[in-house]
Amino acid sequence: MAFEYEKYIRKGTLPHIWCPGCGHGIVMKSLLRAIDGLKLDKNDIAVVSGIGCASRLPGYLDMNTLHTTHGRALAFATGIRLSNPKLKVIVVSGDGDAAAIGGNHFIHAARRNIEITLLVFNNSIYGMTGGQVAPTTPLGAIATTMPYGNIDPPFDIVKLAEGAGATFVARTTSYHTAQTEQLIKQAIMHKGFSVIDIIDACPVQFGRRNKPKEAPDMMQIQKDNSMPIQLAQKKTPEEIAGKIITGVFVKKDLPSYMDTYYTTIIPKAQAK
Amino acid sequence: MEKKALLISGNEACVEGALYAGIQFYAGYPITPSSEIPEGLARKLPKYGGVMIQMEDEIAAMAATIGASLTGKKAMTATSGPGFSLKQENLGFASFNEVPCVIVNVMRGGPSTGAPTGPSQGDVMQARWGTHGDHPIVALAPNSIPEIFTETVRGFNITEKFRIPVILLLDEIIAHMRERIIFPEKGELEVVDRLKPTVPPDQYKPFDVTNSPLPLVPPMAAYGSGYRFHVTGLNHRTDGFPTNNGDLIEKEMHRIMDKVDLYKKDIFKTETYMLDDAEVAIVAYGSSSRAAKYAVNALREQGIKAGMLRYITIWPFDEAAIEKLAQKVKFIVVPELNFGQLILEVERAAKGKTRVYGVNRVNIEIIHPHEIIEKVKELFHGI
């Protein structure tokens, strides 16, 4: 039976704003399949975003949705999560939103290990504003604000999340729809802060100034250039150079912020 | 049983006022001279099952406060000058989306880092216009410890009832000063909760006021209550979704601005002191009004019939009170711990019917009564 996306999409909000060739819509489908697979109630999910192309996603979903200010989605989400523990909170963010203007909230949400899932739609560029360099743009790539080639070294979202203390960290691509769905399921059910770096393509703002240019070719690279982490671990650094390593990098069971607040802080305060 | 009197600071009174009003969520970031507020709530809020979190920065504290309010909780944050600047973008988000919240700004010397432990009233205009774009806002400026308590409660009531963010403008003097206070009993002060929707979830539009019992104020559902709705910082329709339709944008903008005007009489609060027969008026607020009151008494002893009009609600500004005053006094003096901010409103409202003079200080010291007295005497005898 065909999957019923309509069950989760708000009437009258489609078509979405994403350009032809953009992977965001594909990831949104994986997200919906994951939510459906987990049998979560739409009333118990909050989807929060900041600013950018990916940040328009919550508006399409028939859930508790919030489209906030640039970079601040995790901070808004923290308020929601702590004040209504029943809600599963998913933050949808672009790479600039999460790692540049929102970088501080990113590392602190990870350190705090608060029960929020962060999906980074990582297309290596500022798409909505017209192709400016992002903190994830590869060295040498052309961007409108790096017309002679990028000299600003990129962040590795997975390493950043891991270093900051996130207890579930994974990477996939918009090509790997089944893997994306499975990873989102794991991330949502993880007790603590979970991050998925989802490598995505922006043919309109990145592709047009770099190679390859076309959406199908960009997606082909996501397919051909990926390597599961289990395989990568057996390879030399030279053999994995330039590869998109996918899979689960970190999965740890550590005390999470909201749970600890309600199970230790409140009882301690009330006992005094 | 006789009620117990306590000697507490202004920041402590703010904590107690927030608890009285039913605060359920606080997010903050440490900054002098406001830090006793998060410290107090860290101790006390969990006792009531509420959440206090110290966020990674001021921006995040404002954001988390808004997030909590969207789940139906009474939420507050507190800060001082530099942090107030950082909060402005998200404060605009709250104002535009009519998210109830209380923002305490314990004013300190500025600009920039300024004087963390020195008083100022330099953020009066920032409280009104700090975030970009036209937007509704309410600002309250108490002048004593008992009044910080009652104005904190009133601030929560205003924000919850009318869905307009409320800024509580304290200053370093009244925040750190200690005074006697007797806490009101439960039920003694009114405590207001926000309007909840009465329509079923599938008919709910987050900014629709068609059937609201409070004209222009949309009933507010909570995330997680079964009402699934969208909130965005973009210009939005009454159903919450973004729009570029100029007519709809203008209609919504007018509604949120008109709301302040419609309820201004419920929001305004001024106090008059010896004003009935006054020939000279002092218009003051916050800590400066304490010096002004002393000056009124001293001037009367010296034969000058002075009186005071004190603004407790600063924004929206009660123009009519000045208009009335301007017709009967020889002149108005406005003491402020800044180069003259509220005086601009006083002059505007006086419409040239009387002269308006400032007594100003920006050296992080309080305004002394004698400065006001001398200014009044000089002006009075110069006439």
Q: Is residue B209 part of a domain?
A: no
How many residues are listed for chain A in this entry? 272
A237 to each of A181, A242, A243, A245, how far by Cα in Å?
29, 10, 10, 12
- The predicted model gives B243-252 an average pLDDT of 98
Tell me how close the Cα of A91 comes to any Cα of chain B, in angstroms: 13
**B142 shares a domain with B21:** yes
Distance CA B65, CA B109 (A): 25
> How far separated are the first and last CA of chain A, in Å rounded?
57
Tell me what pLDDT residue A182 has: 98
Kindly report, residue by residue over A20-59, the tens digit of the pLDDT: 999 999 999 999 999 999 999 999 999 999 999 999 999 9
- The predicted model gives A89-106 an average pLDDT of 98
**B153 shares a domain with B40:** yes
Q: Is A263 on the interface with B (CB under 8 A)?
A: no
> How many domains does chain B contain in total?
2
Q: Is residue B219 part of a domain?
A: no
Distance CA B150, CA A127 (A): 49
Place of tokens 């489209």: A67
Tell me how close the Cα of A48 comes to any Cα of chain B, in angstroms: 10
Strand pairing class (B115-119; B75-79): unpaired
Closest CA to A25 of A37, A41, A13: A13
Q: Is A83 on the interface with B (CB under 8 A)?
A: yes
Return the CATH superfamily for domain A12-271. Answer: Thiamin diphosphate (ThDP)-binding fold, Pyr/PP domains (3.40.50.970)
Q: Is B3 on the interface with A (CB under 8 A)?
A: no
**B169 shares a domain with B25:** yes
For chain A, the average pLDDT equals: 97
Domain finish residue from B132, B167, B182: B182
Confidence of residue B317 (pLDDT cuts 50, 70, 90): very high
**B284 shares a domain with B150:** no
Strand pairing class (A125-126; A132-133): antiparallel
- For chain B, state the CA radius of gyration: 21
Q: What letter would DSSP give residue B71?
A: T
Tell me what pLDDT residue B383 has: 60
Q: Is residue B362 part of a domain?
A: yes
Which CATH number is B329's domain given?
Answer: 3.40.50.920
Q: Is A10 on the interface with B (CB under 8 A)?
A: yes
Kindly report, residue by residue over A244-259, the tens digit of the pLDDT: 999 999 999 999 999 9
Q: Which amino acid is at B54?
A: Q
Q: Give residue A17's Cα distance to chain centre.
A: 18
Q: How many CB pairs under 8 A join A and B?
A: 136
Q: Which residue of B has its CA nearest to A266?
A: B46
Q: ipTM value, please give it.
A: 0.98
Q: Give residue B316's Cα distance to chain centre.
A: 9
**B167 shares a domain with B280:** no
Domain finish residue from B182, B214, B236: B182
| Selected residues 95-114 of chain A with any CB under 8 Å from a CB in chain B | 104-105, 108
**B151 shares a domain with B21:** yes
CB < 8 Å to B230, chain A: 10, 58-59, 65-67
Instruction: Give residue B150's domain range.
Output: 5-182
Which CATH number is B120's domain given?
Answer: 3.40.50.970
- The predicted model gives B343-347 an average pLDDT of 98
Q: Which amino acid is at B4?
A: K
Distance CA B351, CA B172 (A): 33
CB < 8 Å to B90, chain A: 68-69, 72
A135 to each of A96, A122, A138, A152, A209, how far by Cα in Å?
6, 10, 9, 8, 17
Confidence of residue A99 (pLDDT cuts 50, 70, 90): very high
Find which of A55, A66, A272 to mutate to test the B interface (most B CBs within 10 Å of its CB): A66
| Selected residues 4-63 of chain B with any CB under 8 Å from a CB in chain A | 24-25, 27, 43-47, 49, 51, 53, 55-57, 59-61, 63
Q: Is residue B301 part of a domain?
A: yes
Kindly report, residue by residue over A176-232, the tens digit of the pLDDT: 999 999 999 999 999 999 999 999 999 999 999 999 999 999 999 999 999 999 999
CB < 8 Å to A67, chain B: 230-234
Tell me what pLDDT residue B2 has: 67
**B291 shares a domain with B151:** no
Domain finish residue from B147, B182, B217: B182
The residues, any chain, with a CB within 8 Å of residue A246's CB and separated by 6 or more, are A170, A171, A172, A173, A176, A179, A226, A227, A228, A229
Confidence of residue B271 (pLDDT cuts 50, 70, 90): very high
| Selected residues 36-65 of chain A with any CB under 8 Å from a CB in chain B | 42-44, 46, 48, 58-59, 62-65
Closest CA to A110 of A58, A149, A183, A168: A168
Q: Is A253 on the interface with B (CB under 8 A)?
A: no
Tell me what pLDDT residue A260 has: 98
CB < 8 Å to B49, chain A: 266, 270
Kindly determine whether residue B25 and residue A79, on different chains, have CB atoms separated by under 8 Å.
yes
- The predicted model gives B253-271 an average pLDDT of 98
